[in-house]
Structure formats: C-alpha cells, structure tokens
Amino acid sequence: MQDILDKLNRVRGVGGSLVISPDGLPMITALRQGTDETATSATLGNLLGAAQRLGEQLGLGGTKSLQTIASAGGLLILPAGPAFLAILMDPTANLALLQLEARPFAERLAQRLSL
C-alpha cells in the first residue's frame, strides 16, 4: 500500500499523504521528512472525531469527504474502507482536480484494506 501513497504524492499539489484509523492511529505514511507522523495522525483523529460528532448530532450521516484550506496549504480527507486517506495539499494545488485524482487512490486503498 506504500506504493499507492508514493504514486499519490507525485500528483501535482500533493505535499504528503497518510492512511489513518478512525481513532487517529497511523497505518501507512508517506510524509515529507521532518513531519511528525504521530502528532499529525493524532490531530487528524481529533478532526475526524469532531466531523463525526457534527454528522451524527445534526442527522447528516457519515463523512464522505473533509477538506480544510489555510493560507499556505490545506488538507483533504477521504474515506478508504475502514480507514481514512489524508492528503496534505500545497498552496499550488488545484483542489477540484485533486479531488478527482485522489478518489481512485482512496478506492484502491479501500480494496487493499478490505482484503
């Protein structure tokens, strides 16, 4: 599955990626050198928890995608079977294109994780 993340990281605008469990434990990571994967996964788990609470309490169901945009980059999270694929975006990322390109990667990961 590492090869899937490595390929994903070659997509324009992707600055790293990782697969985490719903409670924020890192499963596979392909992050830039110097990024603390444990801390990143933990905060991502916290974020996913907040999203899940939002969906449940407002009766909106499960999370299909989550994206955050900051001044110097962003984050895109997609479900990948029992886990979540988190993609770190560079400021140059074309968000719409990245969403289209990322989904097949999430689907491939979901297939592998379900085996």
Q: Which residues sit at the interface with another protein, rule CB under 8 A?
A: 35-36, 39-40, 43-44, 46-47, 49-51, 53-55, 57-75, 88, 91, 94
- Asked whether the beta carbons of 84 and 26 are under 8 A apart, the reply is no
Give the nearest distance from C-beta 71 to another protein in angstroms: 4
Nearest approach in angstroms of CB 69 to another protein is: 5
Kindly tell me which of 40 and 105 has the beta carbon lying closer to another protein.
40
Based on CB atoms, which residue is closest to another protein, 2 or 35? 35
30-57: b (≥16 Cβ within 10 Å) or e: bbeeeeeeeebbbebbebbeebeeeeee
Report d(CA 63, CA 52) in Å as an integer. Answer: 7
Q: Rank residues 15 and 105 by Cβ distance to another protein and give the closer one.
A: 15
Contact 108, 102 (CB under 8 A): no
Q: In whole angstroms, how close is the CB of 39 to another protein at the nearest point?
A: 5
CB atoms within 10 A of CB 28: 20
For another protein, the closer CB: 39 or 115: 39
Nearby residues of 111 by Cβ (< 8 Å), 6 or more positions away: 81
Closest separation between CB of residue 15 and another protein, Å? Answer: 9
